[in-house]
Amino acid sequence: MVDVSAKPATARSARARALVRMAPATETALRAATLGKGDAFATAQIAGIMAAKNTAALIPLAHSLPLGHVDVTFAWTGPGELQIDASAATSAQTGVEMEAMVAASIAALTIYDMAKALEKGIAIESVRLLEKDGGKSGRWRADERGAR
């Protein structure tokens, strides 16, 4: 584990995104909440938040952080294309990039789990960091650095 004990606690934030693709019928069922397992979006939102809070238990050598904020949102960005954005913030000695990415990942996996009875071929196509702020390296944005 990296020693951050000498670093000052500063405000830090991060935002990550997962992209989930599915068939039109699966999208329709998710939108109409007719899966029979409850509200997939509420379940995935809570799962993402809980996952962010447990990142240190999931990722070896990750620091346990006192999260001040975690949010998970959903947007349909095209036919059968669900975008999941997760954000995390803290005042700590290290950043929250992993917490945001874990939240987005677990929310996407939860959507898959909720809809898998309708479609086994749902694809989680990407999970990526969109931006981070704070710490020694300051602000970073994926679109500013040419990252996909």
**pLDDT tens figures, 42-90:** 999 999 999 999 999 999 999 999 999 999 999 999 999 999 999 999 9
As a whole number of angstroms, the distance between CA 18 and CA 103 comes to 9
As a whole number of angstroms, the distance between CA 141 and CA 148 comes to 11
Instruction: Give which of 103, 93, 50 is closest to 73, Cα–Cα.
Output: 103
Region 36-40: what's the mean pLDDT? Answer: 86
**pLDDT tens figures, 76-128:** 999 999 999 999 999 998 889 999 999 999 999 999 999 999 999 999 999 99
Second CATH level (architecture) for the domain 22-133 = 2-Layer Sandwich (3.30)
Query: Which residues are annotated as catalytic?
Result: 113
Domain positions in the chain are: 22-133
